[in-house]
């Protein structure tokens, strides 16, 4: 049994507005839910012409209001950019509005350039300290404020409400993310190094390696996480899944053509080229690449899962088996044609539809949701 999920950066393409990009992603999350995908996460990136996912909590609220079953989450919130209490308040409200459907993935990378990070962090950037240095403590603070560090299956009551106690000038002061908590989001630690893997293990939290970035270290990070995992009140054993970039089409050549706009965007990011809105497929095919960009495109194309439904499905199952996971989160990277509607990304939705028949277990999720009593979240 392999469960599938989706990671979405909310790509913005040529001539498209941010509103159009979000509308296209709303269609994608609805498609994922209809097909039986488990969860749908949005990332946090700032000041990037080709990415509209600047505020995960805002996007999650919008998508959750337009769906009924699929889990919504952040992949992830870059915690050093924010005050822990602010993130706890946002996700406490999301969980209150959509109980049992909210994930909070936390990372310690800036998600942007140094100038943008400075502006996001405000006065905290005027000190010599690195905001990321307090990441472990900030993670524990968010968990305590939300109740995500405690067993919340039966809800809270009375004095059991989560919060954080502070001692200010000899007086005790209690902080709460929201007045009355009935359930808590599931918290995940995200990272592309051994640091977050080790921290997640020590805190007894789920962990995801950012494999879709194409950085080395996946095997070592997962091994460290599993070896050093300490059971917690909310998690008895290690919990992780795999992230993979995918482009699926009826033919391998079409799958590659659809992947090319994002391949070029990533090549330019890696080689210091100028970033712009994502190219259409026709624009990408007409683009002359430098030797370094061409090399980057070809190297990434080999790592990404690009091909026909049966080919990509086989590689997904092979990767899931190799890394010992029962869930794979796909980042559908397909671009669009010049003639496609501005508020849709048909190839991304079609990729999910082409893959679904290769995973009959997805239909189990759909059937379970249909059989659930009205108002019950699967």
Distance CA 282, CA 12 (A): 16
Could you tell me the domains of the chain?
Answer: 38-156+174-240 (3.20.20.30), 242-371 (3.20.20.30)
pLDDT at 352 over 80: yes
Give residue 365's pLDDT: 67
Distance CA 371, CA 263 (A): 41
pLDDT band at 1 (very low <50, low <70, confident <90, very high): confident
pLDDT band at 152 (very low <50, low <70, confident <90, very high): very low
pLDDT at 128 over 60: no
Q: Which H, E and C letters describe the chain, residue by residue?
A: CCEEEEEECCECECCCCHHHHHHHHHHHHHHHHHHCCCEEEECCCCCCCCECCCCHHHHHHHHHHCCCCCEEEEEEEEHHHCCHHHHHHHHHHHHHHCCCCEEEEEECCCCCCHHHHHHHHHHHHHCCCCHHHHHHHHHHHHHHHHCCCCCCCCCCCHHHCCCEEEEECCEEEEECCCCCCCCCCEEEEEECCHHHHHHHHHHCCCEEECHHHCCCCHHHHHHHHHHHCCCCCCCCCCCCCEEEEEEECCCHHHHHHHHHHHHHHHHHHHHCCCCCCECCHHHHHCCCCCHHHHHHHHHHHHHCEEECHHHHHHHHHHHHHHHCCCEEEEEECCCCCCCCCCCCCHHHHHHHHHHHHHCCHHHHHHHHHHHCCCCCCC
Give residue 237's pLDDT: 97
CA atoms within 13 A on the CB side of 177: 30
Least confident of 111-120, 215-224, 346-355: 111-120
| pLDDT above 90 coverage of the chain, percent | 74
| 356 or 171, greater pLDDT | 356
pLDDT at 358 over 70: yes
Distance CA 148, CA 133 (A): 22
The angle subtended at Cα 24 by Cα 22 and Cα 30, nearest 5°, is 100
Instruction: Output phi, psi for 10, to 5 deg.
Output: 55, 70
Cis check for the bond before 219: say yes or no (omega within 30 of 0). Answer: no
């Amino acid at each position: 049994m392999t469960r599938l999920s989706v990671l979405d950066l909310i790509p913005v393409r040529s001539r498209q507005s941010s509103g159009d990009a979000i509308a296209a992603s709303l269609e994608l999350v609805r498609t994922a839910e209809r097909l039986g995908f488990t969860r749908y996460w949005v990332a946090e990136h700032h000041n990037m012409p080709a990415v509209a996912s600047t505020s995960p909590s805002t996007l999650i609220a919008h998508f959750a209001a337009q769906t009924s079953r699929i889990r919504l989450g952040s992949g992830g919130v870059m915690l050093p950019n924010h005050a822990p209490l602010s993130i706890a308040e946002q996700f406490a409200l999301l969980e209150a509005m959509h109980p049992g459907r909210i994930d909070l993935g936390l990372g310690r990378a800036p998600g942007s350039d140094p100038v943008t990070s400075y502006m996001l962090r405000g006065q905290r950037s005027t000190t010599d300290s690195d905001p990321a240095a307090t990441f472990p403590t900030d993670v524990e603070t968010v968990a305590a404020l939300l109740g995500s560090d405690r067993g919340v299956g039966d809800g809270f009551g009375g004095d059991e409400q989560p919060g954080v106690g502070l001692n200010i000038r000899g007086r005790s002061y209690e902080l709460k993310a929201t007045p009355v908590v009935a359930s808590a989001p599931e918290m995940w630690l995200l990272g592309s190094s051994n640091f977050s893997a080790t921290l997640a293990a020590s805190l007894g939290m789920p962990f995801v390696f950012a494999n879709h970035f194409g950085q080395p270290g996946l095997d070592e990070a997962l091994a460290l996480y599993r070896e050093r995992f300490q059971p917690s009140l909310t998690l008895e054993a290690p919990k992780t899944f795999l992230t993979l970039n995918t482009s699926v089409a009826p033919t391998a050549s079409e799958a590659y053509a659809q992947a090319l706009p994002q391949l070029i965007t990533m090549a330019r990011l890696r080689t210091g080229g100028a970033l712009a809105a994502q190219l259409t497929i026709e624009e990408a095919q007409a683009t002359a690449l430098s030797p370094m960009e061409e090399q980057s495109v070809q190297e990434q194309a080999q790592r990404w899962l690009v091909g026909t439904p049966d080919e990509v499905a086989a590689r997904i199952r092979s990767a899931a088996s190799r890394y010992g996971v029962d869930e794979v989160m796909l980042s559908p990277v397909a671009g669009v044609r010049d003639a496609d509607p501005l508020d849709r990304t048909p190839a991304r939705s079609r990729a999910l539809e082409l893959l679904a028949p290769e995973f009959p277990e997805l239909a189990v999720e759909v059937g379970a949701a249909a059989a659930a009593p009205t108002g019950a979240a699967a």
